[in-house]
Amino acid sequence: MKDALLNRFLSYVKINTRSDADSTTVPSTQSQVDFALNVLKPEMEAIGLERVHYLEHNGYVVGTLPANSEDFSYKIGFISHIDTADFNAEGVNPQLVENYDGGVIPLGESGFQLNPAEFPQLKNYVGQTLITTDGTTLLGSDDKSGIAEIMTAMSYLASHPEIPHGEIRVAFGPDEEIGRGADLFDVADFDVDFAYTVDGGPLGELQYETFNAASASLRFLGRNVHPGTAKGQMINALQLAMDFHKELPETERPEVTDGYQGFYHLLEMAGTVEEAESYYIIRDFEEKDFQRRKAYMAEIADRMNQALGEERIILTLHDEYRNMKEVIEKDMTPVELAKAVMEELKITPIVEPIRGGTDGSKISFMGIPTPNIFAGGENMHGRFEFVSLETMEEAVQVIVGISTRKSVEN
């Protein structure tokens, strides 16, 4: 199993499937279509999955491992995303570090390195096999680790029909990294009682709480006149953007928050005296605090417009996803099932909120409760990304365990 898992993962990450936020197609890049149709679909069929099909309207490739026992009362799904994040994904050349000794790992000839002084979590992996980048690209563990783990687990179950399990469905889809992947998820086609995204980080992560999320786009309309005669006439759009930003609490930014603390995050600011734009994301776990944050941004814009005597700050708010806890806490079966399996495997469940979102955030509100379990990646989305092969192997065992456990109590 370990060799098959490693070979799958290495073959997947070498294929560039980066998504594109500026694209208007679904999926956002042709490389994701090609990966689903030309790599995953034939492999799913080869390992024994049935009814394997590609959905052109949403970019998901879906397959089924039929039940071989009538003793299971629910159908379970596993989901991972095909795309990788907005960092160089061309020419991924993973390097294998066997029996890691706890020291500095040079990343190819790039001059970059994984240093335990900067990344202390490396010490958790002494003696294990690490897969890293060569320092010039990301790795793609987010979420090709998840895909490799699901495929390996399904291959194992398909080749061991003596192991009883219920019906299992798997889906691999696009564009999670740009926040659009699950928008068109086909719940009726997937047809399970609950599912798991295999898209988490280190060993033991089990998550059913996410941020509530919104974006805030702002246009600032200025009036440009010669600076020598600007008094009382010029309205500097860039200054308006800075004034708006100063109204937001300095203690509520991502770099000074953690745990259940929400934030405002300025992602972009650009423009001229005549016109400027800024773009924020808003995050909070509690619905009332989430609504308060959006209302406060609107209040700042209104107050500034009143002071200017006309509308020169135009705010557009857009809700992105909601905290899936609202759905999952109504029936904690999928969480308790995963937790029981991990404990049986001597894995300590780390049940904590995701300071972000997963496709499960949207899929849960579509009617399929979908918590998130670990896939193993660390330092994701950049050149310092790495994953432990042993952690990936344990993720496979968790997927198999969930698939073959008849109930939480078993």
Domain boundaries, given as residue ranges, for the chain: 2-209+323-404, 212-321
Cα 136 to Cα 143: distance, rounded to the nearest angstrom: 19
Region 135-142: what's the mean pLDDT?
97
Predicted structure pTM score: 0.92
In CATH, 2-209+323-404 is 3.40.50.460 = no
In the chain, the N- to C-terminal Cα span, in Å, equals 25
pLDDT, mean of residues 314-342: 96
Task: Classify 212-321 by CATH class.
Answer: alpha beta
Continuous H helices in 14-122: 30-34, 41-47
Reported confidence tier of residue 407, pLDDT bands at 50, 70, 90: confident
Closest CA to 182 of 83, 264, 88: 83
Give dist(CA 261, CA 279) in Å, integer. Answer: 20
> Which one from 43, 134, 142, 176 is the annotated catalytic residue?
176
pLDDT in tens, 70-93: 999 999 999 999 999 999 999 999
Task: From the candidates 43, 83, 149, 205, give the one annotated as an active-site residue.
Answer: 83
- Supply the pLDDT for residue 164: 97
CA dihedral 241, 242, 247, 252 (to 10 degrees): 100
Confidence of residue 1 (pLDDT cuts 50, 70, 90): confident
Annotated catalytic, 83? yes
**Mean pLDDT, residues 44-55 taken together:** 98
Q: Which residues contact 298 (CB under 8 A, 6 or more apart)?
A: 315, 317
Separation between Cα atoms, residue 324 and residue 237, nearest integer Å: 38
- Site of tokens 């994953």: 387
| Cis previous bond, 254, omega within 30 | no
